[in-house]
Chain A
Amino acid sequence: MSWFQKLLPPKIQRRARENKKSVPEGLWSKCPACNEVLYKADLENNLEVCPKCGHHHRITARKRLDVFLDAEARREIGAEVQPLDPLKFKDSKKYPERLKEAQAATAESDALVVMGGTVKGVPVVAAAFEFKFMGGSMGSVAGERFVRGIDAAIVSRSGLVCFAASGGARMQEGLFSLMQMAKTSASLTRLARERLPFISVLTDPTMGGVSASFAMLGDLIVAEPGALIGFAGPRVIEQTVRETLPEGFQRSEFLLEKGAVDRIVDRRKLRDELAASLAMLMGCSARAA
Chain B
Amino acid sequence: MKSPTDMRMPNTAITTTDRRAVRVKMPACLARSAFPMKITFLEFEQPVAELESKIEELRFVQDDSALDISEEIQRLQKKSRTLTKEIYAKLSAWQISQVARHPQRPYTLDYIGGLFTEFQELHGDRGFADDPAIVGGIARFNGAPVMVIGHQKGRDIKERQYRNFGMPRPEGYRKALRLMRLAEKFSLPLFTFIDTPGAYPGIGAEERGQSEAIARNLYVMAELKTPVICSVIGEGGSGGALAIGVGDRTLILQYSTYSVISPEGCASILWKSAEQAPEAAETLGITAPRLLGLGLVDRVVDEPLGGAHRDWPAMFGALSGALAEAAAEVKARPLDEVLNARYEKLMRYGRFKEA
Contacts and interface: CB of A to CB of B under 8 A. Distances in A.
B209 interface: yes
Interface in B228-272: 238-239, 242-243, 245-246, 258-261, 266, 269-271
The 10 closest A-B pairs by CB, nearest first: A140-B350, A232-B201, A186-B222, A185-B218, A179-B349, A86-B351, A91-B270, A212-B214, A211-B211, A178-B260
A208 B259 contact: no
A284 to B, nearest CB: 26
Interface string B181-206: 00000000000000000011111011
Interface residues of A, number: 64
A216 interface: yes
B322 interface: no
A177 B260 CA distance: 7
Interface stretch (A5-13, A100-108, A234-242): A234-242
Interface in B6-32: none
B354 A81 contact: yes
A250 B352 contact: no
Interface stretch (B100-108, B153-161, B282-290, B330-338): B282-290
B280 interface: yes
A144 interface: yes
B283 A87 contact: yes
A181 interface: yes
Contacts of B211: 211-212, 215-216, 229-231, 260
A249 B216 contact: no
Interface in A145-177: 147, 169-171, 173-177
B296 interface: yes
A186 B343 contact: yes
B285 A84 contact: no
17 contacts: A140-B352, A143-B350, A169-B260, A174-B285, A175-B285, A176-B350, A177-B260, A181-B242, A183-B347, A186-B219, A186-B223, A187-B347, A212-B210, A231-B210, A237-B206, A240-B201, A241-B203
A212 B239 contact: yes
Given A178-B242, A214-B215, A231-B210, A185 B222 contact: yes
Contacts of B203: 237, 241, 243, 245-246, 249
B219 A258 contact: no
Interface string B272-285: 00001001100111
Interface residue tally on B, bucketed by range: 35 or more
Nearest to B257: A175
B101 to A, nearest CB: 18
A258 B260 contact: no
Contacts of A236: 201
A252 interface: no
Given A170-B260, A175-B285, A183-B349, 9 more contacts: A91-B271, A143-B350, A147-B347, A175-B258, A178-B239, A182-B246, A187-B347, A212-B210, A231-B201
A199 to B, nearest CB: 15
Contacts of B218: 181-182, 185-186, 213
Contacts of B214: 181, 212-213, 231
A225 interface: no
A28 interface: no
Contacts, number: 197
A287 interface: no
A189 B223 contact: yes
Interface string A79-104: 01111101111111000000000000
A208 B216 CA distance: 14
B109 to A, nearest CB: 25
Contacts of B350: 139-141, 143-144, 176, 179-180, 183
Nearest to A95: B283
A116 interface: no
B270 A82 contact: no
A209 interface: yes
Contact of A144 (B205, B223, B286, B352): B352
Contacts of B1: 241
Contact of B284 (A174, A231, A258): A174
B219 A189 contact: yes
B291 interface: yes
A37 interface: no
A67 interface: no
B346 interface: yes
A242 B355 CA distance: 48
A188 interface: yes
Given A84-B352, A176-B351, A231 B346 contact: no
A16 interface: no
B294 A176 contact: yes
Interface string A250-281: 10000000111000000000000000000000
B259 to A, nearest CB: 6
A217 interface: yes
Contacts of A186: 218-219, 222-223, 246, 343, 346-347
B212 interface: yes
A259 B127 CA distance: 14
Contacts of A258: 207-209
B353 interface: yes
Contacts of B347: 147, 183, 186-187
B206 A249 contact: yes
A215 B201 contact: no
A121 to B, nearest CB: 30
A240 B202 contact: yes
Contacts of B296: 175-176, 179
Contacts of A231: 199, 201, 205-206, 210-211, 214, 239
